[in-house]
Amino acid sequence: MASTRETIISALHARLSALPASALRGDVLPERVPAAGLLILRDGEPGEPEVTLSPLRYHYQHRAEIEAVVQGADRDAAFDTLCFNIGAVISSDRTLGGLCDWIEAEAPRPVDLAVEGAASLKAAVIPVVLHYSNGDPLT
């Protein structure tokens, strides 16, 4: 049986995998970026939970990260489309089917990265805050 944390992050990865861009989880940046873009979901940090007693509950604001990368001549428009699609996936179900209390993304801070002998990359880390509670920090 998977932990609450793993179940939620897996559900987010599954939703991102439905997008036209390739969605990886915890992988390194491959040598080639697909034409539709690339997403790499990083598990991030659960942070220090708020604790309530009777019943004992740990309330997390887990910060995961999505690395969004596009390459090519029209990378500005492709990056905008990719970010829009990520936002649409997140806003379409803010509880990931009831697995968490709330999910929200923060604004990306894009950068252009030069690649020797190839088209430049446009990339950003998009922080995603996952709000959830459980009865044990290890489950």
Mention every residue, 6+ apart, whose C-beta is less than 8 A from residue 94: 102, 103, 104
Query: For 41-80, what is each residue's pLDDT tens digit?
Result: 999 999 999 999 989 999 999 999 999 999 988 899 999 9
Query: For 87-100, what is each residue's pLDDT tens digit?
Result: 999 999 999 999 99
pLDDT at 29 over 90: no
Distance between CA atoms of residues 115 and 32, nearest Å: 11
Superfamily of domain 4-134: Phage minor tail protein U (3.30.70.1700)
Tally Cβ neighbours within 10 Å of residue 93: 13
Task: Label residues 3-36 b or e (16+ Cβ within 10 Å = b).
Answer: ebbebbbebbbebbeebebbbbbeeeeeeebeee
The DSSP bridge partners found for residue 62 are 130
pTM for the whole thing? 0.93
Task: Kindly state the percentage of the chain with pLDDT values over 90.
Answer: 81
pLDDT level of residue 114 (50, 70, 90 thresholds): confident
